[in-house]
Amino acid sequence: MTQSRNKVVIFLGPPGAGKGTQAERLAQEQALVKISTGDILRDHVARGTELGQQVRPILDAGQLVPDDILIALIRDKLAGMEPVRVIFDGFPRTTAQAEALDVLLEELGAPVTAAPLLEVPDQVLIDRIVERGRQAAARGEAVRSDDNEETARRRQQVYREQTQPLIDYYAGRGHLYTVNGVGSMDEVYRRILSGLH
C-alpha cells in the first residue's frame, strides 16, 4: 500500500464548531471519504436497527456511545479501502478511542496525517446549534434530538471533560493545529487548508 496516497484527517472541535460542513467540503475537493460516527449512528436510529435502538437513549441523553461499538463501525467502514483516504468528523472523542483508532490505522498502514482543531467560543456554539434546530424545523425537516440549548450545553460540558486529553494526545504526536472557527465558511476553510500537509 503506497503510504503517500493515504490521507487520514481528524477534525477536532466542540459540537457546533462546523466540523461537518468543513469536512464535507474537504472530502469533495481532495477525494476523501467523510466518516461521521454521528451520521452513521443517527442513520441506525432512523432505520430502527438493533444498534439504533441500543444507542438512541444514549444519544437523546447527550451521552457518548461506547468505544467498542464505534471502533467496530469504523473497522467495517475502512475494510477493503485502498488507499485509505478519510476524514473523521466527531471521532475520536477520547484518548482511548484515539489509541484504538491508531492501532486500526497502523494495521492498515495509514497513520494520521493531520488533526485540525476548530476553536469557537462557547456561546457562539450554543447559538449555532439552537439555530440549526430552528432552521431544520422551519424547512419541515426532522430536528436532531440534540439540537436544543439544554442538550447543547450538556454536550459542551461532556466535550470539555472528555476531549481535552485528546487534544493533548494529538498535539504530543505533532498532528494537531488550531484553526479559528469564527468567520465565513470560506475563511475557515482556507485556514484549515493552510495547516494541512
Binding residues for AMP, by number, are 37, 42, 63-65, 90-93, 97, 144, 155
Q: Name the catalytic one among 56, 77, 128, 132.
A: 132
User: Per the structure block, which three cell numbers stand in for 69?
Assistant: 461499538
User: Per the structure block, which three cell numbers stand in for 166?
Assistant: 485528546
Establish whether 155 is a catalytic residue.
yes
Count of other CB atoms within 10 angstroms of residue 10? 26
Q: Name the catalytic one among 19, 25, 34, 85.
A: 19
Give the integer Cα–Cα distance in Å for 185 and 18.
9
Establish whether 144 is a catalytic residue.
yes
User: Per the structure block, which three cell numbers stand in for 32?
Assistant: 476523501
- The one-letter code for the residue type at 97 is Q
| Cβ contacts of 178 within 8 Å, gap of 6 or more | 116, 117, 119
Establish whether 19 is a catalytic residue.
yes
- The one-letter code for the residue type at 60 is D
User: Per the structure block, which three cell numbers stand in for 8?
Assistant: 487520514
Q: Name the catalytic one among 7, 25, 34, 93.
A: 93
Q: Name the catalytic one among 7, 34, 85, 155.
A: 155
User: Per the structure block, which three cell numbers stand in for 10?
Assistant: 481528524
Residues with a catalytic annotation lie at 19, 93, 132, 144, 155
